[in-house]
C-alpha cells in the first residue's frame, strides 16, 4: 500500500515500523530521517514560518478567525501519487494538516478508496496506541510490539535509577515564547518519568497560555525552553523574549543556572518514537549526575548569561 504522511510524527512511525519503502509523499514539515526530504511534498503553510513568535501567533490566529485552515494541501500531487493510505491528525489545527483538511481535499479526488488514518494523541499511551494502530492496518503488528518493547526497556532504566532519588525538582517546559505557553499534552508525563515535577500544565490537556506572573509565583527549579517547531538555533534567536521579562533574573532556575534549550521541533513536539529520546533528554537535564545519554549539544544545551552576552 502506498502511504502519504502529512504529519512528521507519523512519518517517523512509518519509518520505525520498516514501512519506508511504501512512503510516497510527505508534508512540508517532515524532515526525519534525512532521506524523507527526497519525497514529494504534499502540503504547505499559509503563514510565514521565518517570522518571530509573536507574528506567527498573530498570523495563525487571524487565519483561524476566518475559519480557514492554516495549511494548503497539494491536491494535484496527491492525485499523481495515488495513495492507498493518508496519515494525518486531529489533535491540533495549528501543528499540522488536520483531518478535516484531508477529508475536504480527498472529496472526489481519487478514482479509488483511500483510507485516512487520523492520530489524536494526548498522552504517551495514546502515542503507543497510534503506533499499534498504524502497524495493525499495515499488517506489521509484530514490529510495533518490538518497537514499543525497546522503548519500555529504555524507560525502565530511567525509572530504576530514579527509585533511589526522592527529590523531584519543579520543571517548567516553555512551548511558545510570546504569548507565553507551557507545554501540555504528553509533556508533563515525560517530565514525571524523567524525575521532575511539571508545573502550570496538566497531563493530557492542551498546552495553556500563561501569565509570566504565574511562572514567577511557581518559581521553578528548572526551565526547559522547547518552542513548538523551533530548533535550538531558532530558539536562541528569540531567547531575549524571556530574558527581558520583568522578574526573570529573580527566578530560582536563573540564579542556579538551570535554564536549558531543547530541540522542540525534532523531539518534544512530535508524538512519535522519539518521545523516548525526549524523556532521556529530560533525564539528562533534571538529573545530570545519574544520566548521560549523549544528547547534550545536539538535542539540548544549557543556557547561561555568558552565552547571552556572546550572542549580543
In contact, 261 and 303? CB cutoff 8 Å = yes
Single out the residue of 233, 203, 205, 215 nearest to residue 179, CA to CA.
Answer: 215
Strand partners, 25: 4
Give yes or no for a cis peptide into 179 (omega within 30° of 0): yes
Pairing between β-strand 197-198 and β-strand 170-176 as defined by DSSP bridges: parallel
Strand partners, 197: 170
Structural domain boundaries of the chain? 3-145, 166-311
What is the average per-residue pLDDT within 77-81? Answer: 97
For the stretch 286-309, pLDDT in tens is 999 999 999 999 999 999 855 554
**Banded model confidence at residue 54, pLDDT cuts 50, 70, 90:** confident
Provide the pLDDT for residue 51: 67
CA distance 312 to 48: 25
Fold of 3-145: Rossmann fold (3.40.50)
What is the average per-residue pLDDT within 226-248? Answer: 95
Mean pLDDT, rounded, of the chain? 92
Provide the pLDDT for residue 42: 96
In this structure, of 35-44, 56-65, 111-120, the range with the lowest mean pLDDT score is 56-65
What is the average per-residue pLDDT within 144-156? Answer: 98
What is the average per-residue pLDDT within 132-153? Answer: 98
Provide the pLDDT for residue 309: 45
Provide the pLDDT for residue 92: 66
Q: Which set of grid coordinates corresponds to residue 43?
A: 502540503
Per CATH, 3-145 and 166-311 having the same topology is answered yes
Strand partners, 26: 5, 41
Provide the pLDDT for residue 305: 58
**Banded model confidence at residue 312, pLDDT cuts 50, 70, 90:** very low
Note the pTM of the prediction, 2 decimals.
Answer: 0.93
**Banded model confidence at residue 48, pLDDT cuts 50, 70, 90:** low
pLDDT of 311 over the 70 cut = no
Q: Which CATH number fits domain 166-311: 3.60.15.10, 3.20.20.140, 3.40.50.1980, 3.50.50.60?
A: 3.40.50.1980
How many beta carbons lie within 10 A of that of residue 168, not counting itself? Answer: 17
DSSP per position, 233-272? HHHHTTTHHHHTSTTGGGSHHHHTT-EEEE-IIIIIT--S
Amino acid at each position: 500500500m502506498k502511504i502519504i504522511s502529512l504529519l512528521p510524527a507519523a512519518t517517523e512511525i512509518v519509518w520505525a515500523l520498516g514501512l519506508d519503502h511504501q512512503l510516497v509523499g510527505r508534508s512540508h514539515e517532515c524532515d526525519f530521517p534525512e532521506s524523507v526530504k527526497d519525497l514529494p511534498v504534499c502540503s504547505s503553510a499559509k503563514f510565514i514560518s521565518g517570522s518571530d513568535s509573536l507574528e506567527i501567533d498573530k498570523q495563525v490566529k487571524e487565519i483561524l478567525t476566518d475559519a480557514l485552515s492554516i495549511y494548503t494541501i497539494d491536491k494535484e500531487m496527491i492525485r499523481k501519487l495515488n495513495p492507498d493510505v493518508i496519515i494525518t491528525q486531529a489533535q491540533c489545527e495549528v501543528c499540522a494538516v488536520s483531518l478535516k483538511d484531508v477529508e475536504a481535499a480527498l472529496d472526489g479526488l481519487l478514482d479509488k478508496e483511500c483510507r485516512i488514518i487520523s492520530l489524536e494523541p494526548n498522552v504517551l499511551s495514546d502515542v503507543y496506541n497510534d503506533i499499534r494502530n498504524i502497524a495493525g492496518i499495515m499488517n506489521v503488528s509484530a514490529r510495533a510490539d518490538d518497537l514499543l518493547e525497546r522503548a519500555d526497556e529504555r524507560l525502565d532504566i530511567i525509572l530504576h535509577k530514579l527509585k533511589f532519588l526522592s527529590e523531584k525538582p519543579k520543571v517548567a517546559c516553555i512551548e511558545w515564547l510570546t504569548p507565553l505557553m507551557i507545554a501540555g499534552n504528553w509533556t508533563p508525563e515525560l517530565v514525571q518519568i524523567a524525575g521532575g515535577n511539571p508545573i502550570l500544565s496538566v497531563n493530557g490537556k492542551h498546552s495553556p497560555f500563561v501569565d509570566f506572573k504565574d511562572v514567577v509565583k511557581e518559581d521553578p527549579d528548572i526551565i526547559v525552553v522547547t518552542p513548538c517547531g523551533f530548533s535550538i538555533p531558532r530558539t536562541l534567536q528569540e531567547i531575549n523574549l524571556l530574558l527581558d521579562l520583568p522578574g526573570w533574573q529573580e527566578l530560582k532556575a536563573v540564579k542556579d543556572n538551570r535554564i536549558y534549550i531543547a530541540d522542540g521541533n525534532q523531539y518534544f513536539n512530535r508524538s512519535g518514537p522519539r518521545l523516548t529520546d525526549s524523556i532521556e533528554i529530560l533525564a539528562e537535564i533534571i538529573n545530570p549526575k545519574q544520566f548521560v545519554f549523549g544528547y547534550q549539544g545536539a538535542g539540548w544545551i544549557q543556557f547561561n548569561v555568558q552565552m547571552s552576552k556572546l550572542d549580543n
